[in-house]
Structure 1
Amino acid sequence: MTAVLDRSSVGLVSASTTLAGRKIRAAVRSGDATFALLSPAVFFVCFYTPLHRRFEAGGGDYAQFLTPLILVQAGLFAAIAAIESAGADARAGTRMRMMSMPISRLAPVVARMTWVSVRMVMSIAAGVAIGVALGFRFDGSPTDTALFVFLLVVFAVSVSLLTDAVGTVVTGSAAIAGVLMIPQLVLVMASTGLVPAEGFPGWAQPFVRNQPVSVLTEALRDLASGRDVDDVAVTAWSVGLFAAGVLAVTVAGRRQFHR
């Protein structure tokens, strides 16, 4: 008679917490945690230093304008790191070992996304600290500030779910992570994060205004400044990306399990 594995013997929360702790410690040892803290400074050097005088010549505050984009880009880098993490687990056979244990099949993914959330909060703290030093301020309510952080974490987790799924089923995840630098660069450069939409050719402006990096960046600027937010656009992108991420890891998990 074939024994039936009781996956309820270890709860999802308990298993995920244990695995997340291991993932966080591994990230500290590998330097990924350090990169999460330092990357916003690198982004500020790349974007703020060469552009702020030109922007502020017109009377604007470039730190207030740029900081949300820096944090959105940190979320994209979290997703690129996530594909490498998932790929490393797949190559090491971690998923298959987890499947032989009495834990939920969701636990490894939840653990990796817990680290993504922690990583993103670290990047937010570091990025805001640098932004404040350069003039960035939260002028909205405490609720606006909480929603500012929440939207960034949701974005990071959503895009990381997508890349996690890719890293789980595709060999050569490190190479794919390098390739993903190209679309993330396009999304950042062709967005309202660096310059207003009016600074782009007319034919490109509809894409620039409505792509997810622009929509999220504009929502974050509004929240930081205490202005009304375009709830429909940012909610649609947030829910859509998260749903796509959940679907992707579900499909990847089934494919991995049935190999």
Structure 2
Amino acid sequence: MTTTTAREPQTGEVAPVATETLTDLLVARRRPPRPSAWSASFTFGWRAVLKIKHVPEQLFDVTAFPIMMVLMYTYLFGGALAGSTTQYLQFLLPGILVMNVVMITMYTGVAVNTDIDKGVFDRFRTLPIWRPSAMVGYLLGDMLRYAIASAVMLTLGLILGFRPEGGVAGVLTGVALLIVFAFAFSWIWTMFGLMLRTEKSVMGVSMMVIFPMTFLSNIFVDPSTMPGWLQAFVNNSPVTHLASAVRGLMAGEWPADEIAWSLGWSGVLLAVFGPITMRLYNRK
């Protein structure tokens, strides 16, 4: 005789399951299908998005910080460097957009390190999923943060007088290129998140790398005003190529060389730091 749970299902509750049916499921030895790599990665990406929902303070670095940076550099240096804040904003905004997004990539490594410290990754490693999906999920979730930061800065720029001649297509293409580069660049910080012991160490090392890369570039000024030995470094920096590509796209141009360099650097970063990160993850 088949037995079922006594209580009748109510609205919103799961229907009762027959004891025989439940027994058949437990002894059938049939495993549910393994999730695909994309499915697992997007699930972890959604987990990263839910973190923002429950800890909205994480949005500070993609909202308040970009606003502060745009206002500060525009009105502190605009008149001195270009003679007009509006004229300087046309040059500055694409570059400082690159700077801000590149800087907030370090929080990927901080999040990884925090989850490791809490023991969350011990659970992830026991799941029958594609092994890199946890790392890829972090980066996919952070892409939303990069998009939010870009939207905040562009909105503020339009209010202050920024007028991209490339129109909507040029702006969206520039932001897409920036997000692709940021995705690849974030693998550096996932590596440090696995290597270092504390999140403060991750942030310290990240700032030591990011600050020289962003300030020694063409984000704020034209490299032609720099000494020759410094130009050699600045002109070959990946941040310089990326800023030039985004600036050109938003200005209505198609800087093919700079776009190629930016995509090439993205591929190199992903090819180098992706395998190193996964090797550390598998051995951690």
- Quote the Cα distance in structure 1 between the aligned partners of 2:32 and 2:235: 46
Task: Go from structure 1 to structure 2 and tell me whether the alpha carbon gap of 1:21 and 1:163 turns closer, same or farther (over 3 Å shift).
Answer: same
Partner of 1:145: 171
Query: Could you tell me whether the CA contact under 8 Å between 2:165 and 2:250 is conserved in 1?
Result: yes
Normalising by structure 2, we get a TM-score of: 0.81
Task: Go from structure 1 to structure 2 and tell me whether the alpha carbon gap of 1:99 and 1:221 turns closer, same or farther (over 3 Å shift).
Answer: same
Identity in percent: 23
Normalising by structure 1, we get a TM-score of: 0.88
Higher mean C-alpha deviation, range 211-220 or range 233-242? 233-242
Task: Go from structure 1 to structure 2 and tell me whether the alpha carbon gap of 1:25 and 1:153 turns closer, same or farther (over 3 Å shift).
Answer: same
Query: Could you tell me whether the CA contact under 8 Å between 2:75 and 2:85 is conserved in 1?
Result: no
Mapped pair 1:228 → 2:258: no
Query: Could you tell me whether the CA contact under 8 Å between 1:144 and 1:224 is conserved in 2?
Result: yes
User: Which segments of structure 1 move beyond 6 Å, counting only runs of 4 or more?
Assistant: none
Partner of 2:48: 23
- Quote the Cα distance in structure 2 between the aligned partners of 1:95 and 1:245: 22
Report the CA distance between 1:161 and its aligned residue.
1.3
Partner of 1:135: 161
Root-mean-square deviation (CA, aligned residues, Å) is 2.3
Query: Could you tell me whether the CA contact under 8 Å between 1:161 and 1:248 is conserved in 2?
Result: yes
**Which structure's relative contact order is higher, taking Cα pairs within 8 Å and 6+ residues apart?**
1
Higher Cα Rg, which structure: 2
Aligned with residue 35 of structure 1, among 35, 43, 61: 61
Report the CA distance between 1:220 and its aligned residue.
1.2
Partner of 1:91: 117
Partner of 2:274: 249
Letter aligned with residue 51 of structure 1: F
Report the CA distance between 1:34 and its aligned residue.
3.1
- Quote the Cα distance in structure 2 between the aligned partners of 1:139 and 1:166: 39
Task: Go from structure 1 to structure 2 and tell me whether the alpha carbon gap of 1:7 and 1:131 turns closer, same or farther (over 3 Å shift).
Answer: farther
1:174-200 Cα deviation digits (max 9, x unpaired): 223123213322222221111111221
Report the CA distance between 1:222 and its aligned residue.
1.0
Higher mean C-alpha deviation, range 214-223 or range 19-28? 19-28
Query: Could you tell me whether the CA contact under 8 Å between 2:164 and 2:171 is conserved in 1?
Result: yes
Structure 1: runs of 5+ lacking an equivalent: 1-5
Letter aligned with residue 26 of structure 1: K
Letter aligned with residue 163 of structure 2: R
- Quote the Cα distance in structure 2 between the aligned partners of 1:166 and 1:221: 30
Query: Could you tell me whether the CA contact under 8 Å between 2:90 and 2:162 is conserved in 1?
Result: yes
Task: Go from structure 1 to structure 2 and tell me whether the alpha carbon gap of 1:210 and 1:174 turns closer, same or farther (over 3 Å shift).
Answer: same
- Quote the Cα distance in structure 2 between the aligned partners of 1:100 and 1:65: 50
Query: Could you tell me whether the CA contact under 8 Å between 2:241 and 2:261 is conserved in 1?
Result: no
Q: Number of paired residues?
A: 253
1:124-177 Cα deviation digits (max 9, x unpaired): 000101111122122115443332111110121111111112212322232231
Mapped pair 1:103 → 2:103: no
- Quote the Cα distance in structure 1 between the aligned partners of 2:32 and 2:64: 40
- Quote the Cα distance in structure 2 between the aligned partners of 1:168 and 1:46: 35
